[in-house]
Structure 1
Amino acid sequence: MTNPLVPGGVSAAQAEPSLIHAAESGDNTKVENAIASDAKIDARDAQGRTALLAATHANQVKTARLLIDAGADVNAKDEIEDSPYLYAGARGYLEILKMTLAHGADLAATNRYGGTALIPAAERGHVDTVQTLIKAGVDIDHVNKLGWTALLEAIILSDGGPRHVEVVKLLLDAGGDVNLADKDGVTPLQHARQRGYDDIARLLEKAGAR
C-alpha cells in the first residue's frame, strides 16, 4: 500500500493547492516534492489555473521547466482562457514560450479575444517572441474577435516606435497580408497614416499596401 502522505505529512489531496502556490512563488523544492508524491500536476485553483500557468504568470522559468518535464499540460486553460503557452506568448516570456512550443503547444489556440499568441505579442512589441511564433508556424493572418490581425494590432495598439516597426517588418517578411483591413474596412496603411507612424507606413507601402 502506498503512503498517502507527502513529505511533511500533507495528504496528496491537499498537495495540489500547495503545488500551485509553490509554483507561483518559485519554491522548486516544494514543487519537486509534490511531483515526487504524485500530486495531480494539472489540478486547478479557484481561477482555473494549473501550477504551470501560475508559474508562467510569475515567469518562474526553472519551475516551469520542472513542471513541463513532469508532464504538465502547456495548453490547459484557466477560466479566462489563458494557457501557459498563450500567456507566455502574450507577455513575451520567451524561455517559457520556447518550452511550451517544444512540448506540444497548440498553435491554433486562441485567447478570450479570439486571438492567437502572435496577436498580443505583436501588439506589445515583443520582437523575439513574434519571431519565435512566426518560425513555429502560427497563422500570420488570423483575425480575432475585434476584427484585427497581428499586423493591425502592431499598428492600432502600438506607439509606432522601433520595436513595433521591427514587428511589422517581421510580419511582412513572413507573408502577412498587407491589405487585410479591419471590420470597418480600414487598412493597415490607413491606420499607420492616421497615427503618423511614418516608418511603419513606409514599410507597408514598400510591401504593396494600399
Structure 2
Amino acid sequence: MEHLINSLMQLTYAQLDAQRALPFKTVPYTGGNQNWSLLMPLSINRVSLSSSKTQSNRLLCAASSKLLYRSPENERRSKICSKFTTNDDTDIELIARVPENNTALTIVAYKLWIIRFRVRRKGSHFYWLLKSLLLSILCSTFDVCIFILTVGIKETHDDNLLHNSSSSGDVDTLQHVLNSGRVRIDCCDSEGTTALMLASAQGHFCCVRILVEAGADVNIRRKSGTTALFFAAEEGHLEISRFLLESGFDVVTNGGMALFIAAQGNYMTIVKTFLEVGCDPNYSMSDGAHSLFVAAQNGHLEVVKILLQNGADVSKARNDGATPLWISCQMGHASIVRELLLWGANVDEARKDGATPLFKASHKGHTAVVEELLEFDPCLGLLANGETALHAACLFGHQEIAKMLIRAGADVQLPNQAGETPLQLAEQLGYDSIINLLSKFIQPAKTVSKETIL
C-alpha cells in the first residue's frame, strides 16, 4: 500500500510541476517528517489558513480554493470534488474560514451543488490517501481521483461514489467507477439499498440501463422487501419499470409489492402493465393492506375498477379487519363505495372493533357515503361495539345523517351499551338542532310520523 501511495504522490507532484504556468503560487510547508512545497492557486487568499492547520486541512482548503477559481478547464475537477467531502470520523477539522464565516468546503458545496461523498478512515494509510486525493483534485488528474476513491479509500455503506453517481444521474462517473472493476455493483447500505434502486427511484434511465447491462441484480430486495421496480413504480417511472420487467424481474415473488405502490400512487398505466405481466393483485403488506385497499383508501376509482376486473378480492381485509369498503367509507369516497358494493362487498363487514362501514361514515359525517350504503340495507341496530350508527351521528353533531338514518328506520330510543340514547348524547354535547329533531320522536302524548318531520 505504501508503495502505491508513494507512486500516486509522485504522479501528482509531477502534474503540479507541469502546471506552474497557471496562476498559482508556491507555499512552503513542513509537516511530519516531510517538507512540502505546495502549489496553491492565487485565489487561496480567500481562505484564512493558520499555522495550526493540519497538512490534510491545508490541502483540502487548497483544493477547495482552486475550485472557486472557475473556468472551463475546471469542469472535470469540479466533477471530482463534487463527489468529495469528509465524514466526522476522519478527524479533519474544516475550520478554515472565509469572510462569510463558511468553511472552504461549504463554499464549494454552494458553488457546485456538491454531492456528498464520505471518506472513511482506513488505518494508518488514511491521511496519505487523503493527501493524494486532494493533490489529484488540484492537478485535475481525473483517473487518479477515481482510482483513489474506488480503491484506496473504501466507500461507506450509506453514501458511496457508486451510489452517488447512480442517484444523481452522473453517467460519466458511474461508467468510470464500473470500468475500474473495483466495486461490487450490488453493494448496498445498511438498509440494503443498491445503486440500481437509487437510479430507479430518481428516474435516471441511462444509469439503470448501464447498471443492468453491467450485471446488477434486478431482484435484490432491501430489508423492507422493496426492490428497484418498487422504487421506479413509486415515482411513476414507466420506462424504467418496463425495462426492469424485461430484464428478468421476478413478478411472481416480487411483483405484488410493486403493484401495491403503483396502485397507491394512482399510476394507471403502470398498474395495467404490472397486471398484464402477472403481478398479484391480492399481495398483502405486513399490515395486511393490499393494492385494492390502498386504491380505495386514496380515492383512485379507475385503479379500483381495473384491480377488480383482474381478480382483486373485494372483501380482503387488513389485519385490523378493515376492508376496502370500510376504508373508503372512512375516507368519504362515495363513488368507490358504490363500485365496491356493486362488486359484492358486504355492507355490514365490520372492523375488529365492531365498527361497520355505516357506523364509520356516520361518525365522519360523509353524507353521500351514508346515502349509498342505505341503498344496500345496512344494519341500523346495536353493533358489536355497543353503539349504533345513529349514536355516531348524534355524538358528532351530523344532523343531516341523523335525519337519513331515522328515515331509514333507525330507533331513536335504542340505548347503547352504556345505557345512553342518541338524544342523551346530543343533550350532553349541546347539539340543539339534533335535540330538537330527536325530541319529536319521544313525545308519548301523540304519535309522530317520520315522514311528516323529515
Look up the equivalent residue of 1:14 and give its one-letter code.
V
The Cα RMSD (Å) is: 2.0
Taking the aligned partners of 1:95 and 1:10, their CA distance within structure 2 comes to 38
Query: Sequence identity, in percent?
Result: 29
Does 1:143 pair with 2:350? yes
1:11–1:64 distance in 2 versus 1, CA, 3 Å: farther
Is the CA contact 2:218–2:244 (under 8 Å) kept in the aligned structure 1? no
Does 1:24 pair with 2:234? yes
Is the CA contact 1:12–1:38 (under 8 Å) kept in the aligned structure 2? no
Does 1:82 pair with 2:297? no
- Cα distance, 1:43 vs. partner? 4.0
- Cα distance, 1:189 vs. partner? 1.1
Partner of 1:104: 311
Does 1:119 pair with 2:326? yes
- Cα distance, 1:85 vs. partner? 1.1
Does 1:55 pair with 2:262? yes
Which piece of structure 1 moves more, 95-104 or 187-196?
187-196
Taking the aligned partners of 2:374 and 2:305, their CA distance within structure 1 comes to 23
Taking the aligned partners of 1:177 and 1:12, their CA distance within structure 2 comes to 55
Is the CA contact 1:172–1:178 (under 8 Å) kept in the aligned structure 2? no
1:10–1:76 distance in 2 versus 1, CA, 3 Å: farther
Gaps spanning 5+ residues in structure 2: where?
1-207, 221-226, 412-454
Is the CA contact 1:152–1:182 (under 8 Å) kept in the aligned structure 2? no
Larger Rg: 2
Partner of 1:39: 249
**Aligned partner of residue 96 in structure 1, secondary structure:** helix
Taking the aligned partners of 1:180 and 1:144, their CA distance within structure 2 comes to 15
Is the CA contact 1:12–1:37 (under 8 Å) kept in the aligned structure 2? no
Higher relative contact order, structure no. (Cα contacts within 8 Å, ≥ 6 residues apart): 1
Describe the superposition over 1:105-143 as per-residue Cα deviations: whole angstroms up to 9, x where unpaired.
Answer: 112210122111001100111111111111111110011
Describe the superposition over 1:69-92 as per-residue Cα deviations: whole angstroms up to 9, x where unpaired.
Answer: 211111101112111111111221
Gaps spanning 5+ residues in structure 1: where?
1-5
- Cα distance, 1:52 vs. partner? 0.6
Taking the aligned partners of 2:384 and 2:332, their CA distance within structure 1 comes to 20
Taking the aligned partners of 1:10 and 1:96, their CA distance within structure 2 comes to 35
**Aligned partner of residue 14 in structure 1, secondary structure:** coil
Partner of 1:153: 360
Taking the aligned partners of 1:128 and 1:78, their CA distance within structure 2 comes to 25
- Cα distance, 1:191 vs. partner? 1.8
Give the alignment partner of residue 167 of structure 1, picking from 369, 373, 381: 369
Give the alignment partner of residue 14 of structure 1, picking from 218, 228, 234: 218
1:70–1:44 distance in 2 versus 1, CA, 3 Å: closer
Partner of 1:194: 395
Look up the equivalent residue of 2:368 and give its one-letter code.
E
Is the CA contact 1:41–1:50 (under 8 Å) kept in the aligned structure 2? no
Look up the equivalent residue of 1:24 and give its one-letter code.
E
Taking the aligned partners of 1:20 and 1:42, their CA distance within structure 2 comes to 14
- Cα distance, 1:51 vs. partner? 0.8
Partner of 2:279: 72
Q: How many residue pairs were aligned?
A: 196
- Cα distance, 1:10 vs. partner? 5.3
Is the CA contact 2:328–2:337 (under 8 Å) kept in the aligned structure 1? yes
Taking the aligned partners of 2:216 and 2:282, their CA distance within structure 1 comes to 24
1:22–1:186 distance in 2 versus 1, CA, 3 Å: same
**Aligned partner of residue 217 in structure 2, secondary structure:** helix
Partner of 1:3: none
1:33–1:140 distance in 2 versus 1, CA, 3 Å: same
